Chains A and B, each alone.
Chain A
């Protein structure tokens, strides 16, 4: 095991059962040192359960996993020393102040009080909370608490960072802040990051590689661009003045595309390498005497990938889907794009 690079995460056939229900059902993947790995899936897919097993908080029912070469079952303390964890539910004592929380956490990892205080100051500056040290954490906003939680995970200078839905419940500006921080930690310090998210945009934005998990199993894994190229399809979107033109245009395009969709006055045409067929589309429109208002080409998205592998799409308005941690219940829910359980058309 010692030959393994220090930030590597390996899951091999991980299973977690609660009675008859398999929350995680044979998950295997490998995260390379220094990589940002996005673990993408809807609520209840098994993301958090995988994370609590990898971070030693729960035992796998079967299967094996190592973090930095250390077995999560038999070498739990070693894993704790090299892994930083920010769980979905922010675990901060609201009566305490940020400096106190960070100092205690540092001391418990073996630092002296002075060392822990210095580290705390460094981290507070890093997450831009230096000016709020005298305020109890209970008076922090949701975004500030998330950033402090991230700082808590970094106290012992971990080589591996587990971030379980780090931006759920955050407003768009705070989400950006967290993204920038995650990128910086990975770029400047080479920290391996396993990030779970239910937001396609987040995975696309941050992850070097992604795995899509659904109902406890990994459905697909790879580079976002490759997955989109292989499983997604481009779409040509043509807008018209009136409904009649849309219907006529749709019949003109019969047989040319994998899927034809009418979205009010816009015709959406899906197929691989759609760009190559634009001249033919324009010719047919001309022949039929149809004049479009606009014509655009949309690159494939991770939603297409997800749709392909799970048969589900995500909803534009994910209000019903966004789980806001109770600690942040006062926070404004963001209009983020998340997975829903709606069957695609």
Chain B
């Protein structure tokens, strides 16, 4: 009853070589992009929110801003806020992609392959970064249409987009960490709540120097303050090295801390129990 008369397949049964790590990451990135592009509901809201902020803040506050900006254009001051908002809310792409896979069971299917566990983390994060870059370009495009003239020119715009990417990728570590630890979509989308204190307990509408009391203390400890400062400097003042380096440094510190948070989440999720 158990004897099998038919010959086995002649084809090789199990390939011993592994897909190179970089190609694993590329494959996972491509897949995350594909699934997100097919569900525009994930990527459109951050874009619409940022565009909306930009239009409304610029229209309502630009007249009143003259007294503290001393002839600096308000658009160059408020655009970084839109970009940071887009980066923080758009950073949830990686986390929501991962949690969707966990909930559907597809994550287990991937775990049954000899894939490098880090590729499961990097793929969605890089895909999130690519989508974020596209979003930022659109927001900057809207600002250009509204009359933005950065003092540092085209290079300045690239630098601003670069800082946004650095922030977005770093912050995506936060949602990814939540996704991997909880495996819950509700918890992951709830985690983007952190976006509010980060975006608003800072020099949101006026420069840091004009803040007073507890909000000034909060802004001092909020890394977003330095990131906004750096972008504003690039757009309105010029290549102010100290300010820009402080901004980049803040992105890096935030990114490293949150990446460690994401990676330990991955370790605990991948660990067989």
Which residue numbers of A lie inside 8 Å of B, CB to CB? 32, 34-35, 55-59, 76-77, 80-82, 85, 87, 89-96, 100, 104-105, 107-111, 136, 152, 156-159, 186-190, 208-209, 223, 327
Inter-chain contact A159/B3, CB cutoff 8 Å: no
Q: In the complex, what distance in Å separates the CA atom of A338 from the CA atom of B107?
A: 30
Residue B113 CB within 8 A of the other chain: yes
Residue B70 CB within 8 A of the other chain: no
Contacting residue for B13 out of A34, A82, A107, A327, CB 8 A: A82
Contacting residue for A190 out of B6, B34, B112, CB 8 A: B6
Inter-chain contact A95/B35, CB cutoff 8 Å: yes
Q: Which residues of B contact A156 (CB under 8 A)?
A: 14-15
- Least CB distance from A179 to B in Å reads 17
Contact status of A109 and B113, CB under 8 A, knowing A91-B106, A156-B14, A157-B11: yes
Task: State the interface size on chain B (CB cutoff 8 A).
Answer: 41
Residue B23 CB within 8 A of the other chain: yes
Which residue numbers of B lie inside 8 Å of A, CB to CB? 1-4, 6-9, 11-19, 23-24, 27, 31, 34-35, 38-39, 100-101, 104-115, 272-273
Q: Which residues of B contact A107 (CB under 8 A)?
A: 19, 23, 27
Inter-chain contact A59/B106, CB cutoff 8 Å: no
Q: In the complex, what distance in Å separates the CA atom of A167 from the CA atom of B104?
A: 19
Inter-chain contact A34/B104, CB cutoff 8 Å: no
Q: Which residues of B contact A59 (CB under 8 A)?
A: 272-273
Inter-chain contact A91/B15, CB cutoff 8 Å: no
Inter-chain contact B109/A80, CB cutoff 8 Å: no
Q: Can you pick out 24 interface pairs between chain A and chain B where the beta carbons lie within 8 Å of each other?
A: A32-B2, A35-B2, A56-B112, A57-B111, A57-B112, A58-B273, A77-B114, A80-B113, A81-B16, A93-B101, A95-B39, A107-B27, A108-B113, A108-B114, A110-B19, A158-B13, A159-B13, A159-B14, A187-B4, A188-B6, A189-B8, A190-B7, A208-B1, A327-B104
Q: Which residues of A contact B38 (CB under 8 A)?
A: 95, 136
Contact status of A186 and B4, CB under 8 A, knowing A105-B109, A108-B24: yes
Q: Is the interface of B mostly helix, strand, loop or mixed?
A: loop
Inter-chain contact A108/B14, CB cutoff 8 Å: no
Contact status of A110 and B17, CB under 8 A, knowing A57-B108, A58-B272, A91-B105: yes
Q: Which residues of A contact B6 (CB under 8 A)?
A: 187-190
Contacting residue for B35 out of A81, A82, A93, CB 8 A: A93
- Least CB distance from A25 to B in Å reads 18
Q: Which residues of A contact B107 (CB under 8 A)?
A: 91
Q: In the complex, what distance in Å separates the CA atom of A330 from the CA atom of B35?
A: 23
Compute the total of residue contacts between A and B using a CB distance below 8 Å: 112
Contacting residue for A92 out of B39, B104, B111, B115, CB 8 A: B104
Closest to B116 in A: A108
Inter-chain contact B15/A109, CB cutoff 8 Å: yes
Contact status of A96 and B13, CB under 8 A, knowing A109-B114, A189-B8: no
Contacting residue for B109 out of A76, A91, A186, A327, CB 8 A: A91
Closest to B110 in A: A108
- Least CB distance from A169 to B in Å reads 14
Minimum-distance CB pairs A-B, first 10: A91-B105, A34-B4, A108-B113, A81-B14, A110-B15, A91-B109, A190-B4, A59-B272, A35-B2, A93-B106
Q: In the complex, what distance in Å separates the CA atom of A35 from the CA atom of B2?
A: 5
Q: Which residues of A contact B272 (CB under 8 A)?
A: 56-59, 76
Choose among A59, A108, A156, A158 the residue with the greatest number of B CB atoms under 10 Å from its CB: A108
Closest to A91 in B: B105
Q: In the complex, what distance in Å separates the CA atom of A39 from the CA atom of B187?
A: 37
Contact status of A96 and B19, CB under 8 A, knowing A187-B4, A208-B1, A327-B104: no
Q: Which residues of B contact A56 (CB under 8 A)?
A: 112, 272
Closest to A187 in B: B6
Q: Which residues of B contact A81 (CB under 8 A)?
A: 14-16, 114
Q: Which residues of B contact A96 (CB under 8 A)?
A: 31, 34-35
Contacting residue for A152 out of B23, B31, B109, CB 8 A: B109
Q: In the complex, what distance in Å separates the CA atom of A177 from the CA atom of B261?
A: 46
Choose among A56, A136, A189 the residue with the greatest number of B CB atoms under 10 Å from its CB: A189
Closest to B100 in A: A93
- Least CB distance from B135 to A in Å reads 20
Closest to A156 in B: B14
Q: In the complex, what distance in Å separates the CA atom of A55 from the CA atom of B13?
A: 17
Inter-chain contact A111/B15, CB cutoff 8 Å: yes
Q: Which residues of B contact A109 (CB under 8 A)?
A: 15, 19, 113-114
Q: Which residues of A contact B273 (CB under 8 A)?
A: 58-59
Q: Which residues of A contact B104 (CB under 8 A)?
A: 91-94, 327
Closest to B105 in A: A91
- Least CB distance from B14 to A in Å reads 4
Q: In the complex, what distance in Å separates the CA atom of A81 from the CA atom of B18?
A: 10
Q: In the complex, what distance in Å separates the CA atom of A44 from the CA atom of B115?
A: 31
Closest to B8 in A: A190
Q: In the complex, what distance in Å separates the CA atom of A109 from the CA atom of B6?
A: 26
Q: Which residues of A contact B27 (CB under 8 A)?
A: 104, 107-108
Choose among A35, A82, A93, A327 the residue with the greatest number of B CB atoms under 10 Å from its CB: A93
Q: Which residues of B contact A94 (CB under 8 A)?
A: 104
Closest to B31 in A: A104
Q: Which residues of B contact A32 (CB under 8 A)?
A: 2
Q: In the complex, what distance in Å separates the CA atom of A57 from the CA atom of B110?
A: 11
Q: In the complex, what distance in Å separates the CA atom of A179 from the CA atom of B11?
A: 24
